[in-house]
Amino acid sequence: MSAALPGTVEADVAVVGAGPAGLAAAVASAEAGAAVVVVDAGPQPGGQFWRHRPESVEPDPDGKGHHGWRTYRDLRARFDAARHSGRITYVPGQQVWMAEKVHAGFVVRTTPTVTAGPTSGTADGGSTVVARRLVLCPGGYDRQLPVPGWDLPGVMAAGGIQAFIKGNGGLPGKRFVIAGTGPFLLPVAAGIAEAGGQVLAVLESSSPKAWLPHLRAAAGVPEKALEGVEYGAVFARHRIPYRIRTIVTEVLGTDCASGVRTAKVDAEGRVRPGTERVYRDVDVVGFGWGFTPQMELPLSLGVETRMDADGSLVGVVTERQESSIPGLFLAGEVTGVGGATLAVLEGLTAGTAAAAAPAPAAVVPGLRAMARHRRFAEAMHRAHPVPAAWQDWLAPQTTVCRCEEVTAGEITAARDDLGAHHARTLKSFTRAGMGWCQGRVCGFAAACLGAGPGAAPSIESLSGAAKRPLAAPVGIGELAALKNTDD
């Protein structure tokens, strides 16, 4: 990217994120007359969900393998039009490392996106956005649970595999096993098969029976059933085995993943003896245990939080998607993981409200649709929980924090011997979550281990795991060059 970066930009509304929620929020705000700045870590709009190959390579992507592509095309056309007319200033390739509430509104400070781990050398500098209102749509990332061997090369997050396919048009391997829980495993496996990969099995820890108490909620969103039928056809065409109440108990391999050991589990996730099975010649193991919303920015601004049905920490919002901090709006995963359709509806609502525009007539049907999607999401979370007994799958020497190489045994020792029941204290005692990723990968698992077998972490522990005073790594040279922006 060679576009000159603005130093300081002022706007009515700042939107962080350009995925489904962020694009929708930006478009709604701009169309309601606000001057909008959109800051996004990605190089082009779409976020994780609508990630696509570089537009320089493929200027007019056909949306193959995407859902809601028509919605994307519509939002994107309106986004581009608003950019053209000067309503939207788009700042791609920049991560927000800090957001502050000031007298005049909000200050958002950005730094060039770091794509692959630690680097040396500062590229171009960051920018500073000052806006009267702020809409945070930072999305989420795959929730990971450690299991013996999960730190081997070749083990990926299910969402990481999908992003790889969408972003590169290729595959990260040839023979795959996909495991975890939830409907998201289906599009990942289908995407692999359609791209020419072989999926040896999809392993679902839960069972379709878990949906039975929630059929009413599921029926409220019939398009999800249609998606299911679509995946069923792909699975049949590619002969992908779908095994329920089954987990990966160990990733096999020495230098990289070469296979998996699996087992049947009961409803709590306890392994049923005698059901072990081994899959060999596996290149890539993809795990998906739901998603963790990126809460560092909302938390740094002090929003009120709650625990969602999937055990994630999320922000509390009003009907207009406003957080407990006036002028700060949240949309998408940070208000509850519920899929792209819901994220778009929330983004439209938040963007309209942030532009301080009166709610248009379309808002009421939007509210109803959001309520339906939220009921569906809750049903899905309850039908696909993280298995209560997952901690039993760990061996003491299983790595939990990959950055700092902290094992499950070290964490449980700190819990039992040193009284570290919260993620924050565990971090102090064991360094779990102190490395490069700052606990984004292991934070949920460490909080669960602190709470103890079968127990859910407290909201305080989850907050401790999710607070990151620097929301992204930032160059010390950049920090030294900061200007004093007292209001």
Partner 1 sequence: MNAASDVLVIGAGVIGAATAYFATQQGLTVTVLDKGLPASGTSSACEGNILVSDKELGPELELTRYSLDVWHGDLAEHKRLWEFESKGGIIVASRESSLASLNRVMASQAGYGVRVDRLDPDDLRKAEPHITPDALGGAFYPEDCQVQPMLVAGHLVRLATQAGARFVADTPVSGFLRSGDRVTGVRTPRGDFSAGAVVNCTGTWAGQLAALAGVSVPVLPRRGFVMVTEPLPPMIHHKVYAAEYIDNVGSSDAGLQASPVVEGTPSGTILIGSTRERVGFDRTVSTDALRLLAGNGVSLFPFLEHVKAIRHYHGFRPYCPDHLPVIGHDERAPGLWHAAGHEGAGIGLSAGTGKLLAQALAGQSPDLALAPFAPARFGEQALNSTTHREEATA
Nearer to partner 1, 310 or 478 (CB): 478
Query: For residue 54, which phi and psi values (nearest 5 degrees)?
Result: -55, 130
How is residue 167 written in tokens?
């972003």
Min dist CB 246 to partner 1, Å, is 37
How is residue 292 written in tokens?
């963790």
Task: Report DSSP letters for 5-43, one per residue.
Answer: PPSEEEEEEEEE--SHHHHHHHHHHHHTT--EEEE-SSS
Nearer to partner 1, 102 or 233 (CB): 102
How is residue 296 written in tokens?
């560092």
* DSSP summary character for residue 422: S
Nearer to partner 1, 400 or 403 (CB): 403
Min dist CB 37 to partner 1, Å, is 19
Nearer to partner 1, 236 or 480 (CB): 480
Nearer to partner 1, 224 or 468 (CB): 468
- d(CA 448, CA 421) in angstroms, rounded, equals 9
Nearer to partner 1, 86 or 326 (CB): 326
- d(CA 302, CA 299) in angstroms, rounded, equals 5
Min dist CB 8 to partner 1, Å, is 13
Min dist CB 431 to partner 1, Å, is 6
Query: For residue 217, which phi and psi values (nearest 5 degrees)?
Result: -65, -40
How is residue 289 written in tokens?
């245990």
Are 311 and 326 in contact, with CB atoms under 8 Å apart?
Answer: no
- d(CA 312, CA 143) in angstroms, rounded, equals 10
Nearest CA among 328, 320, 332 for reference residue 299: 328
How is residue 217 written in tokens?
């909620």
Nearer to partner 1, 358 or 419 (CB): 419
Nearer to partner 1, 244 or 479 (CB): 479
Using alpha carbons only, give the angle 481, 136, 348 rounded to the nearest 5 degrees: 140
Residues in contact with partner 1 by the rule CB under 8 A: 98, 100, 109, 114, 118-122, 300, 403-404, 414, 417-422, 424-425, 428-429, 431, 434-436, 438, 468-470, 473-480, 482, 484-485
Nearer to partner 1, 167 or 435 (CB): 435
Please give the single-letter amino acid code of residue 144: Q
Min dist CB 418 to partner 1, Å, is 4
Min dist CB 234 to partner 1, Å, is 41
Min dist CB 162 to partner 1, Å, is 27
Min dist CB 450 to partner 1, Å, is 10
- d(CA 214, CA 309) in angstroms, rounded, equals 13
Nearer to partner 1, 252 or 403 (CB): 403
Nearest CA among 9, 18, 20, 266 for reference residue 130: 9
Min dist CB 63 to partner 1, Å, is 36
Nearest CA among 164, 197, 135 for reference residue 48: 164
- Cβ-proximal residues to 151 (8 Å cutoff; 6+ apart), any chain: 399, 402
How is residue 235 written in tokens?
């699975």
Min dist CB 226 to partner 1, Å, is 44
